Amino acid sequence: MTFIRAAAVQEEVARRIHFVQADFFDVEFVTKFDLVTCIGVLEWVPKFRPGNPREIQIDFLRRVRSLLKPGGHLVIGIENRLGLKYLLGAPDDHIGVAGVAVYDAEIASRKWLAYNGQILRSFTFTHAELEQLLTEAGFRCRQFFAALPDYKLPERIVPLDPPGALDKFFLERNFVSEHDGSTGLPLSNQDELRSHYRSLAQLGISDAFAPSYFITTS
């Protein structure tokens, strides 16, 4: 909360913000909202509540939907668990370890338990898995964007609907240098990433391997 207040003061918007430090599930709102942002949040929701992580994430999304006005929107920023840099060995942004969170929940949980004896409670998803989560939570209209190099420090935001824009971006030999999301340090395999992105773009599937996504949904 101290950090958020300091950022708001720095950006000269503190007088326009109400600060609430609480569990989202415990707060009773008396109004509905035009916009809810969930930037780097959805993957962490199960960390702080008992129960099935996926069901907790769906409950979270359902509660957000219940708080939107008609025509209101939710904006999500989240990593893609099949992001190319993770497949090539970059550490996961949340646990700081490579070769765990890139797998589906069952295998990732097993690997994390074997690695340090802890239960994995932070989960990211593929494009298709995010679509399914939103559908189960009751969201119908949505649009995906690739965030390069990620949603935290986006340099390029490319719409994925209609398909093909990200493929075109890479086929025109464009590229945004990527970094280790757990440390912020540049990755050493930029040439390899660039090469693979072009190959995936030639196949018409580069959007499935974007490092992270922005999603607008209503």
Q: What is the pLDDT of residue 78?
A: 98
Quote the CA–CA distance of 121 and 133 in Å, as a whole number. 16
Identity of the residue numbered 193: L
pTM above threshold 0.85: yes
What is the third-level CATH fold of 25-163+207-217?
Answer: Rossmann fold (3.40.50)
Q: What is the pLDDT of residue 123?
A: 95
Q: Which residues contact 186 (CB under 8 A, 6 or more apart)?
A: 177, 178, 179, 180
Quote the CA–CA distance of 212 and 84 in Å, as a whole number. 10
Alpha helices, DSSP H only, in the chain?
A: 2-10, 53-66, 84-87, 105-116, 127-136, 165-171, 190-202
Quote the CA–CA distance of 176 and 169 in Å, as a whole number. 10
Quote the CA–CA distance of 143 and 134 in Å, as a whole number. 11
Q: What is the pLDDT of residue 118?
A: 94
Q: What is the pLDDT of residue 147?
A: 98
Q: What is the pLDDT of residue 152?
A: 93
Q: What is the pLDDT of residue 21?
A: 93
Q: What is the pLDDT of residue 159?
A: 97
Q: What is the pLDDT of residue 96?
A: 94
φ, ψ dihedrals at 109, nearest 5°: -65, -40
**pLDDT, block means (10 residues), the chain with 218 residues:** 96 95 93 96 94 96 97 97 98 95 96 96 96 96 96 96 95 96 94 98 98 97
Quote the CA–CA distance of 99 and 79 in Å, as a whole number. 15
